[in-house]
Amino acid sequence: MSTLEHVFIHTQDPPEVAAARISSAVGMKISTGPDNGIYLSRPARADPTKEVGGEVARNFLAYPSDIPEEQSLLDGYEILWDFAYTGRNRDVQLEEARRAFEQLTTAQLWPAALVAGLDTLVAAWNPVLGLTWFPPDTSPDADDYAAWSGYLTQLRA
């Protein structure tokens, strides 16, 4: 399990273009980190002396499969935005990620999904199906395919 939250974004834009558009939509600054990684950050609402945000990169976690037992919603997204809170409080981190995700989906830039720790699908949005907040413990993997399959189908349309 990851200790980060993750926003998966469906776009053919390269990470630097996606980061610039996300930055504008959610009010974050862009910076370059180690190995020229692209990072977004802003002060945390819970504690303005701490920051939230993270790296925007290609989705290296995707392994698309046509076999239903191996499918994951995460495979349909090209961009991965890791999301962390420097205060190291997981509850605050998830709340901040939810807030940023809501801002991103309000901007209606691209289909997106919010995943906590890579194992819990929190929410997904696309222009056809709208925004869905999933029940606790919904998996982005095949176990809960029926809950999120419409979002994957829309990505492939």
Q: What is the DSSP string of 1-18?
A: --SSEEEEE--SS-HHHH
One digit per residue, the tens of pLDDT, for the chain of length 157 reads 579 999 999 999 999 999 999 999 999 999 999 889 999 999 999 999 999 999 999 999 888 777 778 889 999 999 999 999 999 999 999 999 999 999 999 999 999 999 999 999 999 999 999 999 999 999 999 999 999 999 998 888 7
pLDDT score, position 2: 77
Number of domains the chain is built from: 1
pLDDT of 21:
98
Q: What is the pLDDT of residue 153?
A: 84
Give the pLDDT confidence score for residue 93 in this predicted structure: 97
> Hey, which residues does 113 pair with through a beta bridge?
8, 124
Residue 130, phi-psi category: left (phi > 0), alpha (psi -120 to 50), beta (remainder)? left
Q: What are the residue ranges of helices labelled H in the chain? A: 15-26, 90-107, 145-156
pTM of the entire predicted model: 0.95
- Domain residue limits at 40: 5-156
pLDDT (0 to 100) of residue 1: 55
